[in-house]
């Protein structure tokens, strides 16, 4: 075969990565159920939805007709509960864009939010429905673009590089197809940013919300990325941003102007080097289709502050349920772990965490509760509590390995697992 007959290698396609973020996801799912609330200030939080609660109250208070699940879209707007009437310790899961205009946002206490936007409609969360819709929109994506990284209930990364339409107009053609297909399948909108990497794609997905598409190329760095505040970089939190501002660095462009050596000297070898790379829009992380969880946890915020002595029985019951739910999560997903920990948040919002590593991997609720109870001996239980959580980490797939390892921690090395006859309600708990 002559050299002239050999086909030249195919040119390498430029990398095109998308970040897809559903628009006000929980609120949008509720609008499918209650379209009469669309566009109104609305927050979700304060508890979980009980299917018939609203209808039962409606039938009791407005008996002129029989209200059923088929009438949800016709419930009068003035019947829905308002944020101003809420009393409790709950926090916001999400807020509609109309509510966000008043300064209301996710993770804000509902009582504080009520002062900012008292007229907002308050709905309880329906996580079963949110998960169902989440699975539906992700199935639409993988049917079209199979290289997808799941980043949570309402966002994903997608590798557009080799997907038909993924290079056309910088990825806009494929992004339009995804938006249209998700809308048809779920009735929901999403915003998509397409860029050379995950770092820039995540920033781009925020440029044109809701229902927007933003395309960023390497040549756009100076005009579209550098004018943004440093906090827009995923990985720069409030503390790091405050340190940057103390040095006169407020924008990503100002961060990019600092020498790598200066950033390392002031922020450490690893983080300083990363700041330099991020400010210049460099990110080589691949889109990972499957990743193992690091830990599983359950936590709850109390309606009122609880005390370890005065509310011992109530706290004990709550703690049991948390341990059982973590154990059930582990079993359902096929994992077991060795590091068991607790999280407490006091009435003054200060948080304490403790953990302990045991000799054998487990998903047993009794052992989880016993070890978590030992962790409680190492925290202050004289102060009122507003939150309690249980966590299991150092996970592996159930049944992998030999089954036993020696812990490097002093606690639990020689502690035997509990007997099947022992009650998780009476072992290893201080309350």
Whichever domain contains 273, its CATH number is 1.10.150.20
The CATH number assigned to the domain holding 96 equals 3.40.1170.60
State the Cα–Cα distance between residues 45 and 126, nearest whole angstrom: 9
* Same domain, yes or no: 96 and 139: no
Q: Rounded to 5 degrees, what are φ and ψ at 419?
A: -70, 150
Closest CA to 253 of 229, 273, 270: 229
pLDDT one digit per residue (tens) for the chain, 431 residues: 444 455 555 568 999 999 999 998 999 999 999 999 999 999 998 777 766 677 888 888 888 888 888 888 888 898 898 999 888 777 888 899 899 999 998 888 888 999 999 999 999 888 889 999 999 999 999 999 999 999 988 999 999 999 999 999 999 999 999 999 999 999 999 999 999 999 999 999 999 999 999 999 999 999 999 999 999 999 998 889 999 999 999 999 999 999 999 999 999 999 999 999 999 999 999 999 877 778 999 998 888 889 988 899 999 999 999 999 999 889 888 899 999 999 999 988 889 999 999 999 999 999 999 999 999 999 999 999 999 999 999 998 887 764 333 333 333 333 333 333 233 333 334 56
Which residues are part of the catalytic machinery? 155
pLDDT of residue 8: 58
Interatomic CA distance for residues 412 and 416, integer angstroms: 8
Domain end among 126, 149, 180: 126
Give φ, ψ of 198 to 5 degrees.
-65, -40
Number of structural domains in the chain: 4
Question: What CATH code is carried by the domain that includes residue 337?
Answer: 3.30.1490.100
CATH classification of the domain holding 138: 3.30.70.270
The structure tokens 């047993």 sit at: 364
| 29 and 48 belong to one structural domain | yes
Which helix (H) or strand (E) is 45 found in, with range?
strand 42-48
- How far apart are the C-alpha atoms of 350 and 2, rounded to whole Å? 75
| Among 278, 271, 267, 269, residue whose Cα is nearest residue 231 | 278
DSSP structure class, residue 109: B
Asked whether residue 119 is assigned to any structural domain, the reply reads yes
Number of other CB atoms surrounding residue 415 within 10 Å: 16
**Taken in order 128, 85, 38, 173, is the CA torsion positive or negative?**
negative
DSSP string, 74-100: GS-GGGS-BGGG--SS-BEEEE-HHHH
Cα 45 to chain centroid distance, Å, stands at: 15
Does residue 301 sit in the same domain as residue 369?
yes
The answer on 381 and 358 residing in a single domain is yes
Alpha carbons within 13 angstroms on the beta-carbon side of residue 4 total 0
pLDDT at 401: 62
Looking at the structure, tell me whether residues 145 and 217 fall in a common domain: yes
Rounded Cα gap, residues 55 and 71, in angstroms: 9
The pLDDT value given to residue 403: 37
In a domain, 427, yes or no: no
The whole-number pLDDT of residue 406 equals 31
Prior bond of 325 cis (ω within 30°): no
User: Of the candidates 173, 201, 222, which is a domain's last residue?
Assistant: 222
Domain containing 381 equals: 295-397
Structure-block tokens of residue 65: 């007709």
Burial class of residue 131, CB neighbours in 10 A (0-12, 13-18, 19+) = exposed
Say if 375 falls within a structural domain.
yes
Q: Which residues pair with 304 in a beta bridge?
A: none
d(CA 84, CA 112): 10
pLDDT for position 50 = 65
**Strand 92-95 and strand 213-215: pairing?**
unpaired
- Same domain? For 139 and 165 the reply is yes
Whether residue 259 lies inside any domain: the answer is: yes
Q: Which H/E stretch holds residue 312?
A: helix 312-333
Helix (H) or strand (E) holding 150, with range, is strand 148-150
Indicate whether 109 and 140 sit together in one domain.
no
**Angle, helices 127-144/172-186, rounded to nearest 10 degrees:** 140
Q: Is residue 58 included in any domain, yes or no?
A: yes
Residue from 388, 302, 306 nearest 341 by CA: 388
Residue 19 resides in a domain: no
pLDDT at res. 262:
97
Residues 6+ apart with CB under 8 A from 58: 67, 75, 79
Judged on CB neighbours under 10 Å (0-12, 13-18, 19+), 238 is exposed
206 & 238 share domain: no
Q: Are 37 and 77 in contact (CB under 8 A)?
A: yes
Last residue of a domain, one of 99, 126, 153: 126
186 and 206 share a domain? yes
Claim to verify: residue 111 and residue 163 sit in the same structural domain: no
- Measured CA to CA, the distance from residue 364 to residue 355 in angstroms comes to 17
Q: Is 251 among the domain residues?
A: yes
In the chain, the N- to C-terminal Cα span, in Å, equals 83
My answer on whether 320 and 385 are in the same domain is yes
Q: Can you tell me the distance from the alpha carbon of 303 to that of 301, in angstroms, rounded to the nearest whole number?
A: 7
Q: Are 391 and 299 in a shared domain?
A: yes
In a domain, 431, yes or no: no
């Amino acid at each position: 075969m002559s050299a002239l007959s050999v086909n030249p290698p195919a040119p390498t396609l430029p990398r095109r990565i998308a970040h897809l973020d559903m628009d006000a996801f929980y609120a949008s799912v509720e609008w499918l159920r209650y379209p009469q609330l669309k566009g109104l200030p609305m927050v979700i939080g304060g508890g979980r939805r009980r299917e018939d609660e609203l209808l039962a109250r409606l039938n009791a208070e407005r008996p002129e007709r029989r209200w059923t699940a088929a009438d949800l879209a016709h419930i009068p707007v003035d019947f829905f509960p308002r944020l101003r009437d809420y009393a409790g310790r709950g926090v916001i899961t999400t807020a509609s864009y109309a509510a966000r205009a008043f300064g209301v946002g996710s993770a804000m206490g509902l009582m504080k939010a009520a002062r900012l936007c008292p007229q907002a409609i308050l709905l309880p969360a329906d996580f079963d429905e949110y998960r169902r819709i989440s699975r539906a929109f992700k199935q639409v994506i993988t049917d079209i673009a199979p290289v997808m990284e799941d980043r949570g209930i309402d966002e994903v990364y997608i590798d557009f590089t080799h997907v038909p339409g993924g290079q056309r107009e910088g990825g806009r053609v494929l992004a339009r197809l995804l938006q249209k297909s998700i809308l048809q399948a779920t009735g929901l909108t999403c915003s998509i940013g397409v860029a050379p990497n995950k770092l820039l794609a995540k920033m781009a997905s925020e440029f044109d919300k809701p229902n927007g598409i933003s395309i960023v190329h390497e040549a756009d760095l100076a005009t579209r990325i550098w004018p943004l505040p440093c906090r827009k970089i995923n990985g720069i939190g409030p503390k790091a941003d405050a340190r940057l501002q103390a040095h006169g660095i407020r924008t990503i462009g100002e961060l990019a102007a600092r020498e790598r050596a200066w950033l390392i000297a002031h922020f450490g070898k690893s983080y300083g080097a990363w700041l330099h790379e991020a400010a210049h829009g460099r990110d080589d992380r691949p889109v990972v289709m499957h990743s193992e969880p690091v830990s599983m946890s359950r936590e709850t915020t109390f309606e009122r502050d609880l005390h370890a002595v005065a509310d011992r029985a109530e706290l004990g019951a709550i703690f049991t349920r948390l341990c059982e739910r973590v154990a059930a999560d582990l079993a359902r997903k096929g994992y077991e772990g060795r590091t068991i920990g607790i999280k407490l948040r006091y009435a003054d919002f200060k948080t304490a965490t403790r953990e302990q590593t045991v000799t054998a991997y487990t998903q047993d609720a009794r052992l989880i509760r016993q070890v978590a109870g030992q962790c409680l001996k190492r925290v202050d239980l004289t102060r009122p509590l507003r939150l309690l959580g249980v966590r299991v980490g150092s996970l592996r797939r159930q049944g992998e390995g030999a089954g036993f390892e020696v812990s490097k921690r002093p606690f639990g090395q020689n502690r035997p697992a509990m007997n099947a006859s022992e009650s998780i309600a009476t072992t290893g708990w201080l309350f």
